[in-house]
Amino acid sequence: MNLSPALLSVLDDPDERGHLRLAASSFDEPLFLCSRTKTFRIRQINQSNTLLIVEKSTTVKGNDPAVRISKLPGTMLESVLTDNSTADISFLPEYDCASHAAKASKGTAYTWQDVKARVPVSDRDLEVAKKVQLGVEALPTDGNAWRLSSAGIERFLPLILEALHIARLSPNKLRVSDVVEALKDDNDSSDECEPKVIAAVLRRFSDSYNEPYNLDMAEISRWFGLRVLSEQVETVKVSEFLTAWADALPPVLDAACDLACLAGEFVQPTTTTIRYLPSSGLPSEPSARFRRLFAVKSTWELDDILPYVKDIEKDKIKINSLLMKHTRRRVVKGKTYIDKR
């Protein structure tokens, strides 16, 4: 294997090389070498020309040092540092408590080691995926990894919030063991007290990946808002949606229903109506993305269209370039509007 400078730096770092693993999404997909923070694509190089490595030898012939020549094999492996950070663990079976046993017997079972071998990203990016996609490691019931379903969140999250309220526990600096004890005091169901499931919920709505967890009430409210919005198949009145959103929130949750926190997930055909339009469901290619956006709405305010561009391009200068290339900009009474070019 050709050791690139980036890979050599990983091998020289004890913390990095201790996490090295090979991963591929399937047998016919590219192979990656993953460390704690870096991901390398491994490619096979077939060399038809003869390659020689020439170096000075320690032996001396006459007054001249000898030269040692080594021939490289015609086939070698190349390591290329990639920016691949997309980790998908959606292949894991869903856990929602009620159908756990049934799904475990019907679906494919995976250990967390299986997951790490199948998802070709660094450990850091895999932790992000586990947090966002509600990954649950090795449940004691079967030793397998699961992905907590939306139904599971709707079941567990209100119970956790209610238990915290009754036990007078602060939503900041939470430890799983304290939450489990509070749940046991408030409920007799063992399923609702499984520490790994509780940890997945706390991690998802916290600003950290490990204990102690600090629950973000605004993010919890946003999750319920998206849940309600995604169930609307047609355009609805904003007032009706806000009412449904407020009704869906757990009773003990002290958080506002703010449309601004759902930016990039909805479009307003008029000032009084709203329609579900997640940016994740739109094409990633810029021209196709703008075609879809203008098919939904012919004119956008700048602040409304920006969230639909930021997920395909983070750099502010490049975002402006995309808008200049694919749209027309006009200013009316101090407001900036974006039209189809």
- Residue 326, both tokens: 């694919």
Domains in the chain (CATH in brackets) are 5-82 (no CATH), 94-204 (no CATH), 249-340 (3.90.1150)
CA atoms within 13 A on the CB side of 246: 9
The pLDDT assigned to 274 comes to: 94
What is the pLDDT averaged over residues 65-84?
82
pLDDT at 140: 79
Q: What integer is the mean pLDDT of 85-105?
A: 72
Section 97-113 average pLDDT: 65
Between helix 195-204 and helix 123-132 the angle, nearest 10°, is 90
What per-residue confidence (pLDDT) applies to 102? 43
**pLDDT value of residue 101:** 46
Confidence of residue 34 (pLDDT cuts 50, 70, 90): very high
Question: Mean pLDDT across the stretch 317-322?
Answer: 86
Structure confidence at residue 191 (pLDDT): 56
Residue 277 has pLDDT above 60, yes or no: yes
Q: What percent of the chain has pLDDT over 70?
A: 92
Least confident of 56-60, 140-144, 287-291: 56-60
The CA-atom distances, in angstroms, between 177 and each of 212, 220, 285, 287 are: 11, 21, 46, 50
User: Where is pLDDT greater, at 315 or 13?
Assistant: 13
Question: Which one is predicted more confidently, 77 or 47?
Answer: 77
Measured in whole angstroms, the distance separating CA 21 from the mean position of its chain's CA atoms is 20
Determine the angle formed by the axes of helices 176-186 and 150-167, rounding to 10 degrees. 80
What is the per-residue pLDDT for 22? 94
Strands 94-95 and 146-148, sheet pairing: parallel
The per-residue pLDDT for range 144-184, each reduced to its tens digit, is 899 998 888 988 999 999 999 999 999 999 999 999 999 88
What is the reported pLDDT for 48?
76
For 198-216, write each residue's pLDDT tens digit.
999 999 999 888 899 999 9
92 Cβ neighbours under 8 A, 6+ residues apart = 110, 115, 135, 145, 146, 147
Q: What is the pLDDT of residue 32?
A: 95
> In the predicted model, is pLDDT for residue 62 greater than 70?
no
293 near 282, Cβ under 8 Å? yes
Q: What angle do CA 67, 69, 70 make, to 5 degrees?
A: 155
Confidence at residue 186, expressed as pLDDT on a 0 to 100 scale: 66
* pLDDT band with cut points at 50, 70 and 90 for residue 100: low
pLDDT tens per residue across span 286-305 = 999 999 999 988 899 999 99
pLDDT at 225 over 70: yes
pLDDT at res. 61: 65
pLDDT digits (tens, 9 = 90+) for 228-246: 999 988 899 999 999 999 9
Instruction: Kindly state the tokens that stand for 300.
Output: 């956008």
Higher pLDDT, 64 or 130: 130
Query: What pLDDT, on a 0 to 100 scale, did the predictor assign at position 315?
Result: 76
Burial class (CB in 10 A: 0-12, 13-18, 19+), 337: middle
Q: Is the preceding omega at residue 307 within 30 degrees of 0, hence cis? A: no
Instruction: Supply the pLDDT for residue 319.
Output: 86
Stretch 104-127: mean pLDDT: 85
Place of tokens 């390591």: 79
Helix axes 176-186, 195-204, angle to 10 degrees: 110
